[in-house]
Amino acid sequence: MTDKHTHFFGLLAWLAVTFIAAAIGSAASVNAPFFYTQVAKPAWAPPGYVFGPAWTVLYILMGLAAWLVWRVKKFKSACAALSLYLIQLVFNALWSWLFFVWNLGLLSFIDILVLLVLILITTFYFWRIKPLAGALLMPYLIWVIFAAFLNFSLWRLNPHILM
């Protein structure tokens, strides 16, 4: 297999891993549009239709970032960076279950704070290996910071729903 083919299949693999995590989180978000219309929201909360397209773009950028790191160093040489990436995907997917299915406001907030730390560390590692890869994670980091504020606000505004 040529390098070109290896890189192409590597890209597909990293996008697939990223979108598998997205699908796991999305499975918990099936009722999210209804749920989001039923809860009290801060005035600055975006409309529900923003989330799907935003996350789609973010997941593409995330998969590309992981692929760039893998392409430069392969998994063995970039084990710490790519392992962190995979771990943060777990916390990313878990958040939807904690929030939308189990209605655990505090635990979902703790999860998103851990996710933020993992994204920061992953971004740092990615940046050291390939600056573009770190830059591709910046929109994700910014969005999750915003999501953490929204998570906290929704939890505090809806104690009867989000425990």
Instruction: List domains and CATH numbers for the chain.
Output: 3-36+48-157 (1.20.1260.100)
Six-digit token string for 36? 């989001």
Residue 3's pLDDT is 84
The type of residue at 118 is L
Instruction: List per-residue pLDDT tens for the chain, 163 residues long.
Output: 678 889 999 999 999 999 999 999 999 999 999 999 999 999 999 999 999 999 999 999 999 999 999 999 887 889 999 999 999 999 999 999 999 999 999 999 999 999 999 999 999 999 999 999 999 999 999 999 999 999 999 999 999 999 9
* 3-class secondary structure, 45: coil
Query: In this structure, what token pair is assigned to residue 134?
Result: 């770190």
Work out the widest C-alpha separation in the chain, in whole angstroms. Answer: 58
Contact 148, 141 (CB under 8 A): no
Q: Which of 15, 119, 17, 125 is nearest to 69 (CA)?
A: 125
Task: Give dist(CA 89, CA 74) in Å, integer.
Answer: 19
Query: Quick one: pLDDT at residue 1?
Result: 65
pLDDT at 69: 97
* String of DSSP letters for 84-140: HHHHHHHHHHHHHIIIIIS--HHHHHHHHHHHHHHHHHHHHHHHHH-HHHHHHHHHH
* Nearest Cα residue to 63 out of 124, 145, 140, 147: 140
Q: For the chain, how many residues are written?
A: 163
Side-chain-facing half-sphere of 42: CA atoms under 13 Å: 12
Distance, in Å, from the CA atom of 47 to the CA atom of 86, rounded to the nearest integer, reads: 29
Token duo for residue 132? 């573009």
CB 66 within 8 A of CB 82: yes
